[in-house]
Amino acid sequence: MAIAGRWLAAYFNRPGYELFDYDVYALAGDGCMMEGISEEAASLAGHLRLSNLCWIYDSNRITNEGSLEWLDSAGWARTLQLTRSATSPCRSARALLCNAASALAVRTVTAAGRAAA
């Protein structure tokens, strides 16, 4: 979707007529990052500098993959801090860091607030 959005924007958008200006959000967890296809997709997104792509990474620390440091080598910008007033993590990353895909790590706790079984 992010690749298609960038192609459509390059082909159809004109000054003052930006038909294709959207961001693509993907949710991914610790287990998702253990699959090889995730790293291959991340490498391609970093290489193509897909600034309209934002991964929201659910880091619940159940598996060993608890860090996004490997995205740095793939050409990604990591959104380390995000304020509530930010309209979009992708647009914040473009404005603050660089024109690259961004990832937002969210630390969660599995079954938080539930009574013990």
Whole-Å CA distances, 29 to 9, 20, 69, 92, 98:
30, 28, 15, 22, 24
Q: Fill in the amino acid letter for 82.
A: L
pTM of the model as a whole: 0.73
Asked if residue 106 lies in contact with residue 55, where contact means CB atoms within 8 angstroms, the answer is no
Please indicate, yes or no, if residue 98 is contained in any of the structural domains: yes
Please indicate, yes or no, if residue 114 is contained in any of the structural domains: no
Domain that holds residue 47: 2-107
Please indicate, yes or no, if residue 59 is contained in any of the structural domains: yes
Domain count, the chain: 1
Please indicate, yes or no, if residue 75 is contained in any of the structural domains: yes
Please indicate, yes or no, if residue 92 is contained in any of the structural domains: yes
d(CA 98, CA 48): 13
Please indicate, yes or no, if residue 115 is contained in any of the structural domains: no
Please indicate, yes or no, if residue 35 is contained in any of the structural domains: yes
Tens of pLDDT, residues 60-107? 767 655 567 777 778 887 655 454 445 565 666 555 556 778 777 777
Tens of pLDDT, residues 10-63? 999 999 999 998 888 888 877 777 777 888 888 898 889 888 888 887 777 676
